[in-house]
Amino acid sequence: MTPRRLAVQALLHQEQAGYANLVLDAELKKCTPAPEPRDAAFAAGIFYTAVERMPLLDYLLGQFLKKPLAKLDAPVRAVLRAGLAQARFMQVPVSAAVNESVKLTKAFGKTSAAGMVNAVLRRAAVQPVSESDFADPLQRLQIYYCLSAPVAALLYSQYGDEAFAMAASFFEKPAAAVRVNTLKTTDAALTARLQSEGCDAAPGPWAHCLLTKFSGSPAATKAFAEGLYHVQGLASQFAALCVQAQPGQKVLDLCAAPGGKSLTLAQCMQDKGQLISGEFVPGRVSLLRKAFDRCGVHCAEALQNDATVPRPAWGTFDRVLCDVPCSGLGVIAKKPDIRCKDLAGMENLLKTQQKILQNGADSLAKNGRLVYSTCTVNRDENERQVQKFLTANPDFTLAAPPMAYPGAVDTGFGTLFLPHKTHTDGFFVAILQKNH
């Protein structure tokens, strides 16, 4: 199967339902034999580019179609989107993108549409478009920057014109980073090892952090299999380091999967003490345990748990991390599905966050430290949650983070990573100190 056909089939699947990464993985697994890494990467590039740019692609295509895009046969619609994504955003020559799209149209049994696909793509591929074409700010965010109406409205209401720079940053992948497993290796040794495996690696902004560039998956190296590092973005590392877990302490990670923060906590503890890593989804608990085994962590216990429910039998903890479920509006660059969110159920989500945060606070020992974090830029989920918490819990005060990061913003209620300023995931971290 050609990479282009694979991408189109994934787009067809995506229209029906599902998370983009799972959809693509499912289509890749159907291929016999498995595609070459280069072909798989090209297919993924087409698929993800079409998903994240779909509103703008549809806008351009709509200018040259005689009937609405939605009324076209699904395979033709997917071919048009994939072809235009290649021509406009992937440096594929227009002639190649068009000709291959025509071939695909015929391969899907839609020969009668081949002429239309040819004509529409040739015109849409060179049609000028700029953000100035959209005078209305919400329309600009929705079409040019490819965000759903609810996401566009939220970002513009909270950030004003800064929302455009933020939305532009969502098209740029943040710097890839890994955390050195200090239980097994050193910064220098891992750097040399990764370079020997053909991966770029350089010191990050703090100890035991490396900025990396992998030719394939960061989890595909021998060094990863040996547990010498785990993949963890800079903002996520910052959150885990703000916990300041120490050897011999009792530490709770209430929402632990996929496990990056728990691994960092265990390493800060030098694998001494007790770390409980809770996760609501049973299937992800086994992933946590595999990660602990791979990295040689013995002080951590992965448990299935509802973080909103108190666990008095667990006793109290010196440190608690609440990396709560959130809208994910800071990681749109990594998860293009979030662009399409309708933000339904936000009130319930806010209540869940409040319950988890309060449960974490109630689990703290005297003079303990609580870290609240999210991967969103939504102020309702970030500083406003912390403000509510402090009002209800006068025995807590805000503490300063142990390190700074260029571009991160002090909101007065925590540290905010805005992707266009930090070139990281959008993230929020608040450190709450129990005073007695």
Tens of pLDDT, residue by residue over 94-127, are 999 999 999 999 999 999 999 999 999 999 999 9
Q: Strands 317-323 and 364-374, how do they pair?
A: parallel
How far is residue 34's CA from residue 138's CA, in Å, rounded to a whole number? 42
DSSP string, 88-108: HHS---HHHHHHHHHHHHHHT
Task: Give bridge partners of residue 372 from the DSSP assignment.
Answer: 322, 430
Chain centroid to CA 398? 27
Average pLDDT per run of 10 along the chain, which is 436 residues long? 92 82 84 86 94 97 96 96 98 96 97 97 97 97 98 98 98 92 98 95 97 90 97 97 98 96 98 97 94 98 96 96 97 94 96 98 96 98 98 97 96 98 97 94
Task: Give bridge partners of residue 433 from the DSSP assignment.
Answer: 369, 397
The size of the chain, in residues, is 436
Residue the block writes with tokens 């109290």: 316
Res 1: pLDDT: 84
- 3-124 folds as N-utilizing Substance Protein B Homolog; Chain A (1.10.940)
Query: How many CB atoms are located within 10 Å of the residue 371 CB?
Result: 26
- Angstrom CA distances, 112 to 65, 96, 104, 107, 116, stand at 15, 20, 12, 12, 8
User: Can you give the residue ranges of every domain in the chain?
Assistant: 3-124, 131-169, 234-434
Tell me how far apart the terminal alpha carbons of the chain are, to the nearest angstrom.
64
What is the chain's Cα-based Rg? Answer: 23
Cis peptide before 406 (omega within 30 of 0): no
- Angstrom CA distances, 242 to 63, 418, 432, stand at 51, 18, 10
Stated pTM of the model: 0.94
Q: Would the CATH topology of 3-124 be identical to that of 234-434?
A: no
Res 249: pLDDT: 98
Cβ–Cβ < 8 Å for 302, 288: yes
Task: Give bridge partners of residue 431 from the DSSP assignment.
Answer: 371, 399
How far is residue 10's CA from residue 375's CA, in Å, rounded to a whole number? 27
Chain centroid to CA 118? 36
DSSP element (H, E) containing 323: strand 317-323
Residue the block writes with tokens 């503490």: 399
Res 109: pLDDT: 96
How far is residue 84's CA from residue 77's CA, in Å, rounded to a whole number? 11
Res 24: pLDDT: 85
Cβ–Cβ < 8 Å for 294, 210: no
How far is residue 415's CA from residue 401's CA, in Å, rounded to a whole number? 8
Instruction: Find the Cα–Cα–Cα–Cα dihedral 229, 235, 237, 240, rounded to 10°.
Output: -150
Interacting residues of 197 by C-beta distance below 8 A, sequence separation 6+: 221, 222, 223
Task: Give bridge partners of residue 321 from the DSSP assignment.
Answer: 253, 371
- Going by C-alpha positions, the residue among 42, 46, 128 that lies closest to residue 81 is 46
Its CATH class, for the domain covering 234-434, is alpha beta
Cis peptide before 33 (omega within 30 of 0): yes
- Going by C-alpha positions, the residue among 146, 136, 223 that lies closest to residue 179 is 223
